[in-house]
Amino acid sequence: MQKKVKNIIAVISLALIAIAPGCGYHFSGTGGIVPEGTKTISIPVFFNATNEPYVDVDVTQAVVEEFLTDGRLKVVSLEDADLALRGKIVKYEAIPVAYNAQSYVQQYLVHMVVDAALEDLRSKKILWQEKHIESSLISEYPVSYNSAGQVEITATKISKDAAIKKSSQDIAQTLRSKVLEAF
């Protein structure tokens, strides 16, 4: 009887080992999209395909900061890198979400979408690419008006810049997660 139990346990163990890789489980150090031995990454300025000036600077800066904070890959120049993470901002929208009694916009929602690709610079192969990566946070910014009912440009711009930075950080966290998952 003990022999039967041991045989059953052995068969179940072998079955679990055989199906585990198909379920998304893997041993540490294997899998993922970053090749073994990779130590460095370059993050060139993202291409801005929108009409919003300087949004590329904010997104690129947020992505670089995210990888620097993570620390698993050293961020270096393109010439010294094993990998290059390239991106393109394909959509920027400031969508009105609230209005005042005079029907003036009171608040906007910032929505950004990027396309990204990770290239192995040693083999010149694209390891990963994804289109339509969206900021999933609601990044709203208020519009400020003075007593004469005119937009206070400085206060509104500060709010808008903060919303863009928040959306950029969300996209950066998503990109870091996608690139380094299982690394």
List, in order, residues 6 or more apart from 169 with CB less than 8 Å away: 62, 66
Residue range 4-27: mean pLDDT, rounded:
44
pTM of the entire predicted model? 0.78
**Number of alpha helices (DSSP H) and beta strands (DSSP E) in the chain:** 3, 7
Alpha helices in 35-141 (DSSP H): 55-70
Place of tokens 């990566």: 133
Dump pLDDT digits (tens) for 143-160: 888 888 888 999 888 989
Which of the four pLDDT bands, split at 50, 70 and 90, describes residue 13? very low
Which of the four pLDDT bands, split at 50, 70 and 90, describes residue 141? confident
| Cα separation of the two ends of the chain | 45
Which of the four pLDDT bands, split at 50, 70 and 90, describes residue 10? very low
Dump pLDDT digits (tens) for 82-135: 999 999 999 999 989 888 888 888 888 899 999 999 999 999 999 999 999 999
Higher per-residue pLDDT: 66 or 27: 66
The whole-number pLDDT of residue 48 equals 98
Three-state secondary structure string covering 142-164: ECCECCCCCECHHHHHHHHHHHH
Three-state secondary structure string covering 1-26: CHHHHHHHHHHHHHHHHHHHHHHCCC
Dump pLDDT digits (tens) for 51-78: 999 999 999 999 999 999 999 999 999 9
The whole-number pLDDT of residue 19 equals 45
Q: Which class would CATH give 35-180? A: alpha beta
Tokens matching residue 118: 């990770």
